[in-house]
Amino acid sequence: MRIGQAIDIHQLVSGRPLILGGVSIPHDQGLLGHSDADVLVHAIGESILGALALGDLGKHFPDTDPKYKDIDSMKILAKIYEMMKERKYHVGNVDATILAEKPKMAPYIQQMRQNLADCLHCSVDQISIKATRGEKMGFVGKEEGMVAMSICLLEEECA
């Protein structure tokens, strides 16, 4: 077994879509980044890379590479899944938390879980996503950015 954890942070800006867990969420701001800036998928992907001792997201998908400009982060996660499979691991479980003042995440969490389970070839009951607010404090509470945190357990494939 291997455990990985990660945190990702992106600034909120006007003129960008808000995409979390592969779900497009109606909102007046989106996340700024080289890719689609899906902070949740980035945290989950990086927690898997961490569990595999493969470094961070930027090492494998640098924001200086034009081929990753505006890329769907679920495609990045699919590549991370392939790295995991090459090393003969599978997801035991993922537990992630989104920190966002607005919008409410509850209506979208089940679809996020399903998208992530599909991409990681596991059951939706192996993916937990929660959300909390900044209670008007800090950059999350002031709606300047969003954060996602993830921890994952990877299990070795049986021989």
The binding site comprises 8-10, 34-35, 42, 56-58, 61-65, 100-106, 139, 142
Structural tokens at position 83: 């790295």
The pairing of strands 145-156 and 127-132 is: unpaired
Radius of gyration of the chain from Cα atoms? 15
* Sequence-separated (6 or more) residues with CB below 8 Å from residue 58: none
* C-beta separation of 31 from 39 below 8 A: yes
Annotated binding residues for a divalent metal cation, written as ranges, equal 8, 10, 42
**Three-state DSSP class for 96?**
strand
Task: Identify the DSSP state of 61.
Answer: S
